[in-house]
Structure 1
Amino acid sequence: MSEETLYHRLGGEDSIEAVVEEFYDRVLADDLVNGYFEDTDMQKQIAHQAQFISSVTGGPVEYAGEDMRAAHEGMGITEEEFDAIATHLNDALVEFDVPGEDREAVLEEVASYEDAIVGA
């Protein structure tokens, strides 16, 4: 029997989308980072982020977006802003009662892209 993926432990597509919606509610309420999303179609952004998280957690989804460096190039994202985003993601996962070990695994996946995002 194969090991259950993080994607499945998170509850699959619908649960991940709900977490992402909560995550962006938190991001948009944070003056440190919400300026990055002023001219963003948030429905499209939510779908895009849910696809990304589904992909990196082993779901049956292939991420079709730009690579992280290209997507964030010229934005000048700081370490502090990256950390704020990670905190919002963690808090959204907590809101949906995701166990600590699984939250850590999601945050480790996101952290693996830090060098491509910060200062790009």
Structure 2
Amino acid sequence: MSSEKSLYERLGGIEGITTIVDDIIDLHFANPGIKARYMPLKENPEHFAEVRKHLIHFLAAGSGGPQTYEGGDMVTVHTGMNISKAEYMDVMDDIMAALDKNNISEDAKKDVLAIAYSLKGQMIGV
């Protein structure tokens, strides 16, 4: 049995992941390259809460936590958004900045980055 902690544990469990997701969202609202996509969430608090919950559960479940992600698959969720490569990189930059802000280890950041990059083709231009 390995003594290495899961990515979920290295991200701080559900509390740490919730903080990271909230930081990512704040960065998206401030990022000039993508904020126009996220600002409408502020106008619909119920939808915002649902998106936030899905983001938290997606990262928690995807990192080995006990949470269940009940949102749509990446292609379905992003179809019609026509996300550009530049927008995708803005999102990635915000994710990495949030991980840095929360003092996440380099190994855990690399693992999150690998997960995010594995989904790239399911989001860009669909």
Judge conservation of contact 2:28–2:38 (CA < 8 Å) in 1: no
1:106 aligned residue: 112
TM-score, scaled relative to structure 2 = 0.89
Task: Give the match for residue 7 of structure 2.
Answer: 6
Partners of 1:49 and 1:18 in 2: how far apart?
Answer: 11
The total of aligned residue pairs comes to 120
Give runs of aligned pairs for residues 36-115 of structure 1, distance below 5 A.
36-40=37-41, 41-115=47-121
Q: Kindly provide the amino acid, as one letter, of the partner of residue 123 in structure 2.
A: I
**CA–CA distance in structure 2, aligned partners of residues 9 and 18 of structure 1:** 13
Amino acid at match of 1:58: G
Following TM superposition, by how much is the alpha carbon of 1:44 offset from its aligned partner in structure 2, in angstroms? 2.4
Choose between structure 1 and 2: higher helix proportion.
2
**What is the CA-CA distance between 1:79 and the residue it aligns to?**
0.6
Deviations 1:46-99 (A, max 9, x none): 221111000111111221110100100010101110011011000000000001
Amino acid corresponding to residue 110 of structure 2 in structure 1:
E
Q: What is the identity, as a one-letter code, of the residue corresponding to 1:15?
A: G
8 Å Cα contact 2:17/2:60 also seen in 1 = yes
In 1, Cα distance between equivalents of 2:30 and 2:118: 25
Q: CA deviation at 1:38?
A: 3.2
Q: Does 1:22 align with 2:28?
A: no
| TM-score normalised to structure 1 length | 0.93
- Does the residue aligned with 2:125 lie in a helix, a strand or coil? coil
Q: Distance in 1 between matches of 2:120 and 2:62?
A: 14
- Which stretches of structure 1, 4 residues or more, deviate above 6 A after TM superposition? none
Q: Could you tell me whether the CA contact under 8 Å between 2:83 and 2:123 is conserved in 1?
A: yes
